[in-house]
Amino acid sequence: MLDQIKGLHHVTSMARDARQNNDFITHKLGLRRVKKTVNFDAPDVYHLYYGDEVGTPGSVMTYFPFPNIGKGRRGVGEVGTTVYSVPQGTLAYWEKRFADEGVTGVSREESFGEKRIRFDGPDGDGFALVEDKADSRAPWAKGGIPADEAIRGFHSVALRLKDGGATEELLKFMGYEEVEKSGTISRLALKNGNGADVVDIESLPTAAFADLGAGSVHHVAFAVENRAKQLEVRKALIDTGYGVTPVIDRDYFWAIYFRTPGGVLFEVATNEPGFDRDEDTAHLGEALKLPTQHQHLRPYLEQHLQKLEG
């Protein structure tokens, strides 16, 4: 069993409109845009990162807003819900805020004894807020949400799979333990992680497979401290039979990718070097930052990429 994984690092999703996406995450949810850059493989498309003040691993939601992308179709083989942690007793505040802001799909529920609100992102993204009294992480204090109510970071992701068994075994190999089961949902958690420590797996054997599109999660990333730990994880996964990519430099972390038995794309990303490698903390996410290989495109991109507030 591996001990290098420290919880979630980031979740990356697809969107259709960069301005709408930026407004939803920064204004309605009160998170900070910590990086404005572009997709490595499609540089005419933004890659937007949102999180806490410094983009701490376990708080970071990222998006590829493709202007002409079709809407995703829900199903199995995907991350169905991305769940944020909020302080205990704050769901009433969030219900009112969502009503005032016109957020759709809002409903109260309880899962594994935790009170939570489900809601939709602008492309039908599946989100939830869960009250977690044990979460001591500091929120982004300048996002227009009072600190006592603000999002702390990720609580969990929920996977929807045809058969969760093999993916559960993979997560156990990655250091997770099954802590609870409720109907068709198994909850796995990591001890002594970064706060974003939970993965729920729902088995839906008769459901159709999901189609990737706007509102879909593209991949979920797990955190390791550094490149040495990442190489240890990569070797262990390869030795176990997984096809893992070489290490890829993503400017703000190094990444490896592999496909899980249930079809979800997993990434293992380093906590280093962080989002302040090319911007000071006070100005994160303000300027357009480009990978070295795309610097020559700056005049074109600054002219053609959608202008964003903030």
**pLDDT, position 198:** 98
* 71 has pLDDT over 90: yes
Q: Which tens digits make up the pLDDT trace of 76-122?
A: 999 999 999 999 999 999 999 999 999 999 999 999 999 999 999 99
Query: What are 210's two structure tokens?
Result: 């999901």
Summarised one tens digit per residue, pLDDT across range 237-261 is: 999 999 999 999 999 999 999 999 9
Summarised one tens digit per residue, pLDDT across range 57-66 is 999 999 999 9
Q: What is the mean pLDDT of residues 215-244?
A: 98
pTM: 0.97
Spatial strand order of the sheet with 46-51 comes to: 32-38, 46-51, 60-65, 8-15, 217-224, 265-273, 253-259, 248-249
Phi, psi of 99 (to 5 degrees): -65, -45
Q: What is the pLDDT of residue 309?
A: 87
- Rounded to the nearest 10°, the torsion over CA 63, 69, 70, 76 is -40
> What mean pLDDT is reported for the chain?
97
Percent of the chain predicted with pLDDT > 70: 100
pLDDT value of residue 289: 98
Whether the pLDDT of residue 296 is over 90: the answer is yes
Residue 310 above 80 pLDDT? no
Residue closest to 159 by CA, chosen among 185, 183, 180: 185
d(CA 154, CA 9): 9
Confidence at residue 33, expressed as pLDDT on a 0 to 100 scale: 98
